[in-house]
Chain A
């Protein structure tokens, strides 16, 4: 277990963490600010990826696809808000879970009807298609470094938006006491719609960025949605800062676990037993972590609301 190997695995973990953050950011924003459980966040991530593939076929350029797919994701998100989600804000969480679960099934089948069930892919942009040598025999795509940059950029943008702008202030106020903000003459519905649209766009953005390295297929968001929920629960629901740190922690724990759990198990167990135990432990680690965090800090690491 050399230092280089550890360093490379740490970088891999950070990169997975950033990808998780891109998805979890929108989820925690909508959940935290609007108190709305949106299980359909994962399919909005999927839609972003599919729209990018479709837009790429139209424009032939990754950047054109990025812009068009972002607009498309926003449009579809707002349409869903108008048709479905708007009617759920005042209902309890179980109703929201049921209805948004229905949206998942509808859209997973929908993309299959439109694009077929076979996995699709989006080529990397030429500008970012190079790679650097990390260690002997292993290249690291520049695109993955750009992904880390984009994730950090989104984190910074969100920080500035939420804590430094008037809109961000209204959002925070609306989250604490929507009735009072409404009484002060702010259109709370429109505010929520903006937040929701932004959250949708973040999910779509994550889908577009993930498309060149991950597969584009129906149901691609479902697995990530579970991980994103783990992230926001660890980080504290509604907290962007919490989501950011928790995403990095989850990414690191998961990657390092996969990288080293079997080797560590081999120190105490026979190789064949280690091959059984190692992967099992590796896939449990983040859930054990979540359980631990919930035990000691039931509201997560950085609760958005105290009390």
Chain B
């Protein structure tokens, strides 16, 4: 009799706990570009996010957490279909991730329109920071212009008078140049727009050598940047014309460019040597877990997971969405970039640095901070956002 009672109690207890688990679990849809040449960016961002989840014991905010990682293949239409699946079929509690701005623009409206909380971890196109801002969207990365603006400010401060700027001929490339010009007051000798995915830059490098500018600024993400950096060094320009960049020289491209990139400058809101406890712990455990050096994409992914963790704890679970959104807005977590808070448009107010590529003692190539360009930088579009 007694034994039966125990068994029955156990059964009840089990039933209760499984019910409780169902109510207290968290499902996150994580969208990232994981195939094609730019896959390395998405993989870094995903690995950073999953590390954050793992360090919370697979329980963000104490809730059993399931992350559904989906590859957007850098196709905005396909991404939209996949996001609808996550929202309607899988009924995710939150969305996170997204590497590229064109994918972001395709999936943003459907996600925030369904009143799903969306934590971006990379793309920060200007409309989302401005007119189309949403109370459901938060990002742990940056507004797209910020790192370009930092390079423009740096060029101005360094006293460069004549510059050549170069970017791929698409929206993000044009935005990059616009961001650079915001703080650079000198003369732009030439604006070179290349084909997206261009491999050989000898024609452009010849133009640069002929014009002899004080410095160049480039935005060439992914493989394009690797090609450019290698060919820039091979053309003998590396020592003579200072090379300023954004999203071109970082830990995703340094394994390929290696010594040819050492000493080149980039604008970034994060570097592995930022001196704070959260960052030191992050870099160490990331390299131990995955065996390669984290880039800013990984740092942003990691911060996204930690932001969700901190906000869930503060709001006491996911039940009260308004409370959770208010908690997210407070950014209750230790960011790996130290100083971090959200502006009214839910984009970060953060410091932006000039970083330099260096070879570390263990032979790995990483970026290192040179100087802080902006303290508590506010993005240029917050005034257009109606949230106060």
Binding site for B on A (CB under 8 A): 2, 5, 8-9, 12-13, 15-16, 19, 108-109, 112, 116-121, 131, 133, 135-141, 143-144, 213-220, 223-224, 255-256, 258-259, 262, 275, 278-280, 282-283
Which chain B positions have C-beta within 8 A of A121? 226, 230, 256-258
**CB distance A140 to B235 under 8 Å?**
yes
Residues of B within 8 A of A131 (CB): 234-236
Interface residue from A116, A138, A283 paired with B205 (Cβ < 8 Å): A138
In the bound complex, residues from chain A placing their C-beta under 8 Å from that of B257 are 121
Please give me the residue from chain A that is nearest to B199 by CB atom. Answer: A214
Q: Most chain-B CB neighbours within 10 Å: which of A19, A112, A118, A121? A: A118
Contacts of A219 in B (CB 8 A): 36-37
Contacts of B43 in A (CB 8 A): 117
A218 touches B195 (CB 8 A): no
Q: In the complex, A275→B164 CA distance in Å? A: 13
Which of A213, A218, A256 touches B230 (beta carbons < 8 Å)? A213
For the complex, what is the distance from the CA of A202 to the CA of B69, rounded to whole Å? 39
Tell me whether B199 and A118 are in contact (CB under 8 A): no
Q: Which residues of chain B have C-beta atoms less than 8 A from A108's C-beta?
A: 35-36
Contact status B226-A283, CB under 8 Å: no
Are the CB atoms of A8 and B206 closer together than 8 Å? yes
Chain B min CB distance to A293 (Å): 21
Main secondary structure of the interface of A (DSSP, over half): helix
Contact of A215 among B36, B212, B223 (CB under 8 A): B223
Tell me if A280 and B169 are in contact (CB < 8 A).
yes
The CA-CA distance from A104 to B256 in the complex, in Å, is 23
The residue that A217 contacts in the complex, of B34, B206, B207, B223, with Cβ under 8 A, is: B223
Contact partners of B37 in chain A: CB under 8 A: 119, 217-220
Q: By the criterion CB–CB under 8 Å, are B191 and A135 in contact? A: no
Shortest beta-carbon distance from A93 to chain B in Å = 26
Q: Which residues of A contact B197 (CB under 8 A)?
A: 223
Q: Which residue of B lies closest to A12 (CB)?
A: B202
Is there a chain A Cβ closer than 8 Å to B210's Cβ? yes
User: Within 8 Å of chain A (Cβ to Cβ): is B18?
Assistant: no
Residue pair B206, A279 in contact (C-beta under 8 Å): no
User: Lowest 6 A-B CB distances belong to which pairs?
Assistant: A139-B236, A138-B209, A119-B256, A215-B226, A12-B202, A117-B39
In the assembled complex, which residues on chain A have CB atoms less than 8 Å from the CB atom of B212? 136-137
12 contacts between A and B (CB under 8 A): A112-B39, A118-B255, A118-B292, A119-B222, A119-B226, A136-B209, A137-B210, A213-B200, A213-B234, A262-B190, A275-B193, A279-B169
Closest beta carbon of chain B to A65's beta carbon, Å: 16
Determine whether the beta carbon of A135 is less than 8 Å from that of B40: no
Residues of B within 8 A of A (CB): 34-37, 39-40, 43, 169, 190-195, 197, 199-200, 202-207, 209-210, 212, 222-223, 226-227, 230-231, 234-237, 240-241, 252-253, 255-258, 292
A-B pair count, CB < 8 Å, reads 134
Nearest residue (CB) in A for B43 is A117
A241 CB, nearest partner CB in chain B, Å = 24
Q: How far is the CB of B73 from chain A (nearest CB, A)?
A: 11
List the B residue with the shortest CB-CB distance to A283. Answer: B195
| Structural contact, B256 and A135, CB atoms closer than 8 A | no
Cross-chain contact B206 with A9 (CB below 8 angstroms): yes
Residues of A within 8 A of B252 (CB): 118-119
Known: A255-B203, A279-B169. A120 touches B209 (CB 8 A): no
Q: Which single residue of chain B is at the shortest CB-CB distance from A13?
A: B203
A224 to B193, CA, bound (A): 20
B210, A5: Cβ atoms closer than 8 Å:
yes
B206 with A118: CB separation less than 8 A: no
Q: Are B255 and A137 in contact (CB under 8 A)?
A: no
B166 to chain A, nearest CB (A): 11
Q: Which B residues are CB-close (under 8 A) to A143?
A: 234
Q: Which residues from A are CB-within-8-Å of B169?
A: 279-280, 283
Most chain A CB neighbours (cut-off 10 Å) among B34, B256, B257: B256
Chain B residues whose C-beta falls within 8 Å of the C-beta of A215 in the assembled complex: 199, 223, 226-227, 230, 256
List of B residues within 8 angstroms of A13 by Cβ: 203
Given contacts A121-B256, A214-B230, 10 further A-B contacts (CB under 8 A): A5-B210, A13-B203, A15-B202, A118-B292, A119-B37, A133-B236, A137-B236, A138-B206, A217-B222, A283-B195
Interchain CB contact (< 8 A) of A214 among B36, B200, B253 = B200
Residue of A with least CB distance to B34: A117
Given A213-B231, A215-B227, A258-B194, A5 and B206 touching (CB < 8 A)? yes
Q: A119-B255, A223-B197, A279-B193 are in contact. Are A218 and B209 (CB under 8 A)?
A: no
Q: What is the CA–CA distance of A216 and B255 in the complex, to the nearest angstrom? A: 11
> With A121-B226, A215-B226, A258-B203 given, is the CB distance from A137 to B39 under 8 Å?
no
Are A139 and B193 touching (Cβ within 8 A)? Answer: no
B241 nearest CB across to chain A (Å): 8
Most B Cβ at <10 Å: residue of A13, A135, A138, A223: A138
- Measured between beta carbons, the chain B residues less than 8 angstroms from A116 are 40
* CA–CA, A259 and B209, complex, Å: 12
> What is the distance, in angstroms, from B340's C-beta to the closest C-beta of chain A?
27
Our pick among B36, B256, B292 for the contact of A218 (Cβ within 8 Å) is: B36
Complex partner residue of B39 from A16, A218, A259, A278, CB under 8 angstroms: A218
Question: Measured between alpha carbons, how far is A131 from B235 in the docked complex, in Å?
Answer: 8
